[in-house]
Amino acid sequence: RLQEEWKQLNFHSQKLELFEIEEAIEYLIKAVGGKNTDQTHAKHLAEKLGYLPLALKHAAAYIRQTPSYTLKKYLEEFTLEKFEEENLSSDGNTILNTWNKSIKTIKDLGYPEAKEVLEFLSNLEQAPFPLDLIKQWFKIYKPEFTNQNCDNVLRHLQNYSLLESNEDSYFLHNLVQEVTSY
C-alpha cells in the first residue's frame, strides 16, 4: 500500500485499478462458487461496491461462507458491518481494518488531520474535489496549518490509497466515503 516506499526501494509496483464492469461481474460469479449466477445482481453489487477488488473479494467470501446467502440476498442486506468479519480474510485485512490501520499510521506519522480531511470530503457529493477547496477548508478550520501541512496530509492519504489525485483535483472512492462516514 505504500506507494512512496516502493519507489524508494526501486521495486516495481503494479497498481490494482478498479475492475471494469464486465470484470467485476465475471469475478463475482466465479468467486461465489456457483451459488448464484445472476448477472443482474452481480452487476448491482459491483456498482454498490464501486468495482473495488478488495470489496468484491470480501463480498464473494461472505456469500460463499454463508449457506443462506446469494448475490441477491447480500445486496439486499448490505451493511458495512459485513466487512468487519475477520473470517473473510486469512490475513485479517478486511476493508474496515485496512482503513483503520492506514488512518492510524498516518496519524502516528504526525498528521492527525488526515481523518478530518477524509471526514470533510466524505460529507460532500461524489465528485472531483479541487485542491483549493481542501486548502480553504484547512485555512478556515485549521488556521495554524500551512499549505505545506495540507500538502503533506494529502500526500499521505494518496500514499495509503485513501485518496486519488489528478492534477489539482482529488477523488475519494465511494466506498472510502462510506467507510469514513461509518
**12-69 pLDDT tens trace:** 666 667 899 999 999 999 998 876 668 899 999 999 888 888 788 878 888 888 878 8
Q: What is the pLDDT of residues 136-170, one digit of tens each?
A: 998 898 888 888 888 999 988 888 878 888 878 89
Quote the pTM value.
Answer: 0.65
User: DSSP labels for 13-76?
Assistant: ----PPPPHHHHHHHHHHHTTTS---HHHHHHHHHHTTT-HHHHHHHHHHHHHSTT--HHHHHH
